[in-house]
Amino acid sequence: MNDRAAVTEYPIDPALAGRWSPRAFASSTIDEAAVASLFEAARWAPSANNLQPWAFIHASRGTENFDRLHSCLKEANAIWAGSAALLVLALARPIKPDGNTNLHARYDLGQAVAYMTFQATALGLHVHQMGGFDTDRARTVMGIPIDHEAVTAIAIGRRGEPSSLPAPLQDRECAPRTRKSTKTFVFPGRWQEQDGRE
């Protein structure tokens, strides 16, 4: 039973309801087959013109590359993400092979990460995506080529105990999950203001 499953307004797949982003990760590792499955799921995400404008750098806890990637995180993320079994850097390739800008590169990368996220959920893992990292440092220490850009850092692992976190984060870890109602962002036919006026 997932005690953090979303309480939804309408039924959704349990894997979607069960997905959430913990900060407390257990010390357990992720085996190579599971890691391969995560990126295989990302591989099959849809992309505009099938360009697949994504790449991923990953490192397991206890390795030098993990420490390098961890060193790119902003302090607010670094204090908890170091406990994750796996750190990932998600990259987009913003230029098409013909030299034109790929306006959908980040969107497509987001879909690939979503596929990876739900594969992780199916494997009993949790994913926490982070915007708080130093992109310039990441480019240097992770050897990112000039034609790619780091978009998101990701921590992956099994759920840990909230008590392993610093006190302020323990409260956030256990706080009720909330989302805007679909009524605030889904509009049949054409845009409408929330109070019903156009």
Span 145-185, pLDDT tens digits? 999 999 999 999 999 999 899 888 998 888 888 899 998 99
Residue 143 confidence class, pLDDT cut points 50, 70, 90: very high
SS3 152: strand
**The predicted structure's pLDDT at residue 196:** 52
**The predicted structure's pLDDT at residue 137:** 98
Between CA 49 and CA 103 the distance in angstroms is 12
The string of pLDDT tens digits covering residues 10-39 is 999 988 998 889 999 998 999 999 999 999
The string of pLDDT tens digits covering residues 94-138 is 999 999 999 999 999 999 999 999 999 999 999 999 999 999 999
Find the Cα–Cα–Cα–Cα dihedral 116, 76, 131, 40, rounded to 10°.
-20
Is the CB of residue 54 less than 8 Å from the CB of residue 42?
A: yes
The string of pLDDT tens digits covering residues 44-93 is 999 999 999 999 999 999 999 999 999 999 999 999 999 999 999 999 99
**The predicted structure's pLDDT at residue 145:** 97
- Whole-prediction pTM value? 0.92
SS3 110: helix
Q: In three state form, how does the secondary structure of 174-190 look?
A: HCCCCCCCHHHCCCCCC
CA angle, residues 56, 60, 61, in degrees to nearest 5 = 135
Q: Could you tell me which residues are beta bridge partners of residue 95? A: 101
SS3 118: helix
Residue 1 confidence class, pLDDT cut points 50, 70, 90: very low
Strand 86-92 and strand 149-157: pairing? antiparallel
Between CA 51 and CA 41 the distance in angstroms is 16
**The predicted structure's pLDDT at residue 2:** 58
**The predicted structure's pLDDT at residue 78:** 97
Tally of residues, the chain: 198
